[in-house]
Amino acid sequence: MRLYINVDHVATVREARQTDEPDPVRAAVLAELGGADGITVHLREDRRHVQERDVRLLDETIRTVLNLELSTDEEVVELAREWEPYQATLVPERRQEVTTEGGMALESGTRERITGAMERLADAGSRVALFIDPEEEAIRRAADWGADAVELHTGEYANATSDEGREAELDRLRSGARAARDLGLDVHMGHGLTYENVAPVVAIPECEEVSIGHSVVSRSVFEGMEDAVRTMREIVDRARRGLRDA
């Protein structure tokens, strides 16, 4: 199970003052020391948190791998091609949203734009993942369109307010993960995962990677980044061991 740590919100704090601290690059190095297998950042079109400088320096500094989240915006895709991140995860982006609100719409109207971006990123040598809702049709299209992986959106699961709701969302994730794997896609998951809710998600056998940001950055304010990641690492590994021992 790969644990990728998203350091966007370290940059959010920096941008609140438009200064040079805290530095997401420094946070990424500490996240690696705490046990992260990779670092995720989202270079948004409006540059509200992560800046080009951050991606450039992360690319040069980290010892693990870089997972760059991006929209299909031509300028951002071109930058990604220059950086050649290990992995590029395409996500939908709306200016007004506080955070990514749902998976990509894989429809005939968006096909050309999305597959065009996928081809350009793959040409540059990146693995390409599509962030989608855990729905069969979207998963089938992701495979048809040539994605290497899907990141299944765990936001509905994270936002569920009852045990029944959570269980229903977990079932959607479980069957989505099975369907994706049957189609030869690698299965990642992310969004809204926390210390409290991550275990059942990483216990889904087909899930190979999770990307977690807000909850870890929040804890790092009190505990430091290295310890915050180490605690998440322990929870993830314990849940995974439970799966093996079952």
Q: Is 220 in the site for ligand PXP (CB under 6 A)?
A: no
Q: What is the CA radius of gyration of the chain?
A: 17
Distance CA 242, CA 237 (A): 9
Among 25, 31, 62, 193, which residue interacts with ligand PXP (rule: CB under 6 A)?
A: 193
Among 213, 219, 228, 229, which residue interacts with ligand PXP (rule: CB under 6 A)?
A: 213
Catalytic residue among 9, 32, 49, 69: 69
**For helices 24-33 and 52-61, angle between their N-to-C axes, nearest 10 degrees:** 30
Among 29, 54, 62, 131, which residue interacts with ligand PXP (rule: CB under 6 A)?
A: 131
11 and 54 Cβ atoms separated by less than 8 Å: yes
Burial of 82 (0-12, 13-18, 19+ CB in 10 A): exposed
* Residue 58 beta carbon to ligand PXP: minimum distance, rounded to whole angstroms: 15
* Residue 31 beta carbon to ligand PXP: minimum distance, rounded to whole angstroms: 13
**Span interacting with ligand PXP, options 25-33, 138-146, 185-193, 224-232, rule CB under 6 A:** 185-193
**Element holding 59 (H helix, E strand):** helix 52-61
- Token readout for 164 is 């029944």
Active site residue 9: no
Active site residue 191: yes
Q: Is 132 in the site for ligand PXP (CB under 6 A)?
A: no
Q: Could you give the angle at the alpha carbon of 78 between the alpha carbons of 74 and 83, nearest 5°?
A: 150
Region 145-164 residues binding ligand PXP, contact defined as CB under 6 A? 151
The catalytic residue positions are 42, 69, 191
Interaction site with ligand PXP (CB under 6 A): 6, 8, 42, 69, 89, 91, 99-100, 131, 151, 190-193, 211-215
